[in-house]
Amino acid sequence: MAQHLNRRRCLWGALALSVWPSEWAYAGGQLEEPLADSVRTALSSAIANAAPPVPEFSSTEARLHYLRWLGAMSPLLASRKSDWTTRKEFLQTVWYESRRAGLDTALVLGLIQVESAFRKFAVSRVGARGYMQVMPFWTRVIGDGDASRLFHMQTNLRFGCVILRHYLDRERGDLFLGLGRYNGSRGRAEYPSAVFAAQKRWVFKEEAPALNPAPPTLTPAAPGGTSRSPS
């Protein structure tokens, strides 16, 4: 039994780490349940906000860090989003919404890779929609029931991030159980293992700046001679 489970985990990991999954959406089966007022407010505001958010930074270094992250992530996504403006707005929104929800940005990108392969109009066999495969009942719970709104980029990412945060809070921060609840497979290893494997692709490893070597010291020049570095 253990050998069979390990094999299944390896197969899911290999799928998530492949360059891109095939053109399907891994079914997200979130269950309808009562919402806290804070979650309802956050989802409602997403529907009214049509423009991609513009990041604000507390310091120049924070802004430079973001720009370095954007520069590192952009080539990884180019095969799925060839237009630079579209790619930039997508990454900018994922960065904003993940941080707003207190989530690891690499985890969210890994989840999107597994759920929809970065397809804006992906629909699963159970009807989950968009990048983060949000179930249509969420729009009915907090809005007018228009599930087509889930194909709007920021709305879908806001819904997905806030819902994932909600599930993680329900599971007291347990990523394994929270991801399983998001996908409707709580307690099973296949889906969390796939997301964790895909997450590795999107981890930003910022290189430490190279240390400047100390300039060579010069020995005093002899009378009539020239200065030279010590051998």
Overall domain count for the chain? 1
Is residue 152 within 8 A of residue 163, CB to CB? The reply is: no
Residue 172 within a domain: yes
Whether residue 215 is predicted with pLDDT greater than 60 in this model: the reply is: no
Is residue 228 one of the residues assigned to a domain? Answer: no
Residue 50 has pLDDT above 70, yes or no: no
Q: For residue 216, is it within any domain?
A: no
Residue 11 vs residue 147, higher pLDDT? 147
**Is there a domain that residue 164 lies in?**
yes
The model's confidence at residue 40, banded by pLDDT at 50, 70 and 90, is confident
The pTM of the full predicted model, rounded to 2 decimals, is 0.77
Q: What share of the chain is helix, strand, coil (3-state, %, to 5)?
A: 55, 0, 45
Q: What is the pLDDT of residues 116-140, one digit of tens each?
A: 999 999 999 989 999 999 999 988 8
Question: SS3 of 220, please?
Answer: coil
142 pLDDT higher than 50 = yes
Which of 32-36, 111-115, 135-139, 180-184 ranks highest by mean pLDDT?
A: 111-115
Q: Distance between CA atoms of 221 and 68, rounded to whole angstroms? A: 46
Q: What is the residue whose two structure tokens read 């029931």?
A: 145
**Helices 153-170 + 37-48 axis angle, to 10:** 170
Q: Is the pLDDT of residue 7 over 60?
A: no
Distance of alpha carbon 28 from alpha carbon 127, whole angstroms:
8
Q: Could you tell me if residue 210 is inside a domain? A: no
Q: Establish if 212 belongs to a structural domain.
A: no
pLDDT of res. 54: 82
Provide the pLDDT for residue 16. 42
Q: Could you tell me if residue 207 is inside a domain?
A: no
Assign 155 to helix, strand or coil.
helix
pLDDT digits (tens, 9 = 90+) for 59-93: 999 999 999 999 999 999 999 999 999 999 999 99
Contact assessment for residue 176 and residue 182, using Cβ atoms and an 8 Å cutoff: no
Long-range contacts of 146-152 (CB under 8 A, 24+ apart): 149/47, 151/120, 151/121, 152/50
Candidates 214, 209, 211; CA nearest to 230 is 214
> Does 218 reside within a domain?
no
Question: What CATH number is given to the structural domain containing 22?
Answer: 1.10.530
* Over residues 38-60, mean pLDDT: 80
- In this predicted structure, what is the pLDDT of residue 107? 98
The answer to whether the beta carbons of residues 198 and 17 sit under 8 Å apart is yes
Per the structure, the complete domain to which residue 62 belongs is given by 7-202
- Phi then psi for residue 152, to 5 deg, are -80, 130
